[in-house]
Amino acid sequence: MSELILASTSSARRALMDGLRLPYRAEAPGVDEVVAPHLSVTEAVRELASRKARAVHQRHPETWVLGADQLVEVAGEVLSKPVDRNAAREQLRKLVGHTHAIHTGVCLVGPGGKVLDAVETTRLTFYPVKEEELERYLDLNEWEGCCGSYRVEDAGQALLERLDGDRSNVQGLPMVTVVRLLREAGFRFF
């Protein structure tokens, strides 16, 4: 079987991949993450995941490359990574007491240009927490580098009232979907 590369520098994605005990290495895709404004949120994450996987695959055409990208959507608005604490506060204010969706695009590109892809959506409802609790959460700095300004794998899980879907999707990589794509590509487990 060809080598597997994760087109990501995300520690959360690497931790999820490590759980498979499948040999792989991680490499930064180094791509522009701006997408056309007319794309839907699911089209955008599909495009970005593909762009990341193809960028790394161009450098290593005999390998399999897994790319992923994630966006948060609440009341029709798309949230990406906040630039600072104030932006994180504004994002979290939109999420607390409401339900939002996390969309993750996953793309697996292999030798000969074979492409397998999918989009996974998980819905989350946050407790309607008070402003002082929100500020204490912001003090933890979990918002840094996080779509939607929280980490469900850490203290941010205390914001979570309900989760419908794949929890690993919220953490950055929908592992049920990833395993399906890897099996379709011929990877063997255990």
The residues annotated with a catalytic role in the active site are: 69
Residue 1 has which token pair?
């079987």
- Token digits of residue 95: 């999420």
DSSP for 17-40 reads HHTTT---EE----------TTS-
149 DSSP assignment: G
CA distance 60 to 33: 21
How many Å apart are CA 141 and CA 32, to the nearest integer? Answer: 25
How far is Cα 56 from Cα 70, in angstroms, rounded to an integer?
18
